[in-house]
Structure 1
Amino acid sequence: MDIQNIIPDQSIALFVKNILVFENKDTPETVLPFFADGYPGLLFHQTENGLTIQPHGKKMPTIFLYGQTIKPISIHVNGHFQIIIFQFYPFVLRAFWGINPQDINDSCHYLTNGPKNDINKIISEILLTSAMEGKIRITINLLLDYFEQKRNKLDFQVREVIQYIIDSRGIIPIKEIAEKEKLNIRTLERRFLKETGISAKQFAKIVQFQSSLNQLETKDFSKINDIVYTNGYADQSHFIRVFKAFTGVTPNTFGKI
Structure 2
Amino acid sequence: MAHQNTIDRLGKIRSKQPWLVLSAAEKFSVASSTNPAISHFYSFEMSRSKQETIAIPDGCVDIIFDCDASRPTAEVFGTPMEAIDIHLVEDHRYFGVRFASGIIPDCLRVSAQELIEHHFSLQDVIPHADQLFETVVSQSNFSDQVASFQQFFEGKSARQLAPLTQAVVQRIFALQGNVRIDELAELTGYTTRTIQRQFRADMGMTPKQFGRIVRCQSAVYQINHSDQVVFSDMAFDLGFSDQPHFLREFKKLVHATPMTYQNRVKQQTYLERIQHF
Measured against the shorter chain, the TM-score band is 0.7 to 0.9
TM-score for the superposition, normalised by structure 2: 0.72
Distance 1:224 1:33, change over 3 A: same
CA RMSD of aligned residues (A): 2.8
- Cα drift, residue 138 of structure 1: 2.1
How is 1:1-257 mapped onto 2 (pairs within 5 angstroms)? 1-9=26-34, 12-13=35-36, 15-16=37-38, 18-24=39-45, 27-29=47-49, 32-47=53-68, 62-74=73-85, 75-92=87-104, 95-114=106-125, 117-147=127-157, 154-157=160-163, 158-257=165-264
**DSSP 3-state at the match of 1:43:** strand
Q: Runs in 1 of length 4+ with deviation above 6 angstroms?
A: none
Contact 2:223 2:229 in 1 (8 A): no
Contact 2:31 2:40 in 1 (8 A): yes
Contact 1:65 1:111 in 2 (8 A): yes
- Cα drift, residue 127 of structure 1: 3.1
* 1:229 maps to amino acid: F
- Cα drift, residue 159 of structure 1: 3.5
* 2:40 maps to amino acid: I
TM-score for the superposition, normalised by structure 1: 0.77
Distance 1:222 1:73, change over 3 A: closer
Note the alpha carbon deviations across 1:195-254, whole angstroms, 9 max, x for none: 222111111111112111222334544532122112221111110121122133332333
The CA distance in 2 between the partners of 1:110 and 1:179, in whole Å, is: 41
The CA distance in 2 between the partners of 1:3 and 1:159, in whole Å, is: 32
Distance 1:128 1:45, change over 3 A: same
Contact 1:3 1:21 in 2 (8 A): yes
Contact 2:176 2:215 in 1 (8 A): yes
Distance 1:140 1:183, change over 3 A: farther
**DSSP 3-state at the match of 1:44:** strand
The CA distance in 1 between the partners of 2:188 and 2:152, in whole Å, is: 32
Distance 1:28 1:247, change over 3 A: closer
